Amino acid sequence: MAPADNSDSNSNSALDEFFAECDEIIHRVSNGLQTLEKGSATPEVIDQIYRDMHTMKGSAQLFGVKSIGQLAHMMEAVLDPIRKRNFKIEVAFTDAALKTLDLIDSIAQCLRGGKN
């Protein structure tokens, strides 16, 4: 008797981990952006947001979730010059970044069928 194929189960488990990681990143980045809005734009906060978006981009690409990967890449691309040159963080940036996070969250919720 051949062993059972658990590839679908393993794939679903890995995808569930991806979505859980997305939730964690969205939470951390949202908190970081709120810190920036309050005028506390330290290099550490900006670097953490950048690293989180880089991680999300890579994970999304690994799982073939292009829409999340592209949005994360856009945020990463916008953050890169800010973190390298210490540009002033404008309210328009944090507003757009928070809206992008909301969109990423909505996409993730739709892709996993709305389950938490």
The burial of 74, by beta-carbon neighbours within 10 Å (0-12 exposed, 13-18 middle, 19 or more buried), is given as middle
| Claim: this prediction has a pTM higher than 0.85 | no
Residue 5 scores a pLDDT above 80: no
Whole-number pLDDT of residue 4: 44
Using a 10 angstrom Cβ sphere, with 0-12 exposed, 13-18 middle and 19 or more buried, the burial of residue 9 is exposed
Q: What does the H/E/C string look like for 58-92? A: HHHHHCCCHHHHHHHHHHHHHHHHHHHHCCCCCHH
Query: Could you state, in order of their start, the residue ranges of all structural domains in the chain?
Result: 41-109
Coil vs helix vs strand at 22: helix
Query: Which residue type occupies 20?
Result: A
Per-residue model confidence (pLDDT) at position 2: 44
Residue 77 CB partners (closer than 8 Å, separation 6+): none
> Quick check: 112 pLDDT over 80?
yes
Q: Is the predicted pLDDT of residue 1 greater than 50, yes or no?
A: no
Q: What 3-state class would DSSP assign to 113?
A: coil
Look up the CATH architecture of domain 41-109: Up-down Bundle (1.20)
Q: Are 52 and 28 in contact (CB under 8 A)?
A: yes
Mean pLDDT of 36-63: 92
| DSSP single-letter state for residue 2 | P
